[in-house]
A and B are shown apart, each in its own frame.
Chain A
């Protein structure tokens, strides 16, 4: 009926089945395996990329933190250097002031000492001049009566002393 050759159909069906099984075994499985392997490699690449990205992010954060720390250190060092320089300057000013005061004090002391020495020298010179003057006057003015009175006073004094 209808001219259908069931045998041919069965044979084609069998051939198709054999071909399908053959293709499945020979092509589908290796291709699937290749695709899976490829997919795994890509996923691994993506994972590695993500890991590297995270590592890079961590490194960047660490770098930023170190940079911030370095900035803070730099500011601190500059502040300390400024403070030290100001302290050194203040110390130098104070020392210079003290030395100036000491020099002034020493100069004043020397001036006073020189003034005292000059006064003493003047006083000594004046004393010598006064004594020389007194001697000259006495030598000229002393009379025999004055001399007599002096001698008697001396003798009385020596007698009293004994």
Chain B
């Protein structure tokens, strides 16, 4: 079973949490999810499966915009 860490800037709405867990199930099948809050992300989500990071946070998008 894969341990998945999901980090967001604010608590997830039920719809957002359902979408996340549906995506995780489709991708990993069996998994154990751990939710974290990090206000510095501003918005969006960061998912880490122990090896790979999926970074959809506003923080990283803004970092990409910096000259």
A interface, CB within 8 angstroms of B: 123-124, 127-128, 131, 134-135, 138-139, 142, 144-148, 150-155, 157-159, 162
A131 in contact with B66 given A147-B9, A150-B56, A154-B44 (CB within 8 Å): yes
B interface, CB within 8 angstroms of A: 8-13, 15-16, 19-20, 23, 26-27, 39, 42-45, 54, 56, 58-59, 62, 65-67
Please name 4 further chain A to chain B contacts, defined as beta carbons within 8 Å, in addition to the given A128-B67, A139-B42, sorted by A numbering: A135-B58, A148-B13, A155-B23, A162-B27
Question: Is the CB–CB distance between A151 and B65 below 8 Å?
Answer: no
Q: How many A-B Cβ pairs are below 8 Å?
A: 76
Question: Is the CB–CB distance between B42 and A138 below 8 Å?
Answer: yes
Question: Is the CB–CB distance between A146 and B26 below 8 Å?
Answer: no
Specify which chain B residues have a CB less than 8 angstroms from the CB of A134 in the assembled complex.
62, 65
Q: How far is the CB of A23 from chain B (nearest CB, A)?
A: 147
A147 in contact with B43 given A127-B66, A131-B65 (CB within 8 Å): yes
Question: Is the CB–CB distance between B20 and A155 below 8 Å?
Answer: yes
Determine the distance from Cα of A158 to Cα of B45 in the docked complex, in whole angstroms: 12
Closest A-B pairs by Cβ, 10 of them: A154-B56, A127-B67, A148-B16, A124-B67, A155-B23, A142-B43, A148-B13, A151-B45, A151-B16, A150-B44
Give the nearest-CB partner of B56 in chain A: A154
Give the nearest-CB partner of A147 in chain B: B43
19 contacts between A and B (CB under 8 A): A127-B67, A135-B42, A135-B59, A138-B58, A139-B42, A147-B43, A150-B43, A150-B44, A151-B8, A151-B45, A151-B56, A152-B16, A153-B56, A154-B44, A155-B23, A155-B45, A158-B54, A159-B23, A162-B27
Determine the distance from Cα of A69 to Cα of B56 in the docked complex, in whole angstroms: 101
Question: Is the CB–CB distance between B58 and A148 below 8 Å?
Answer: no
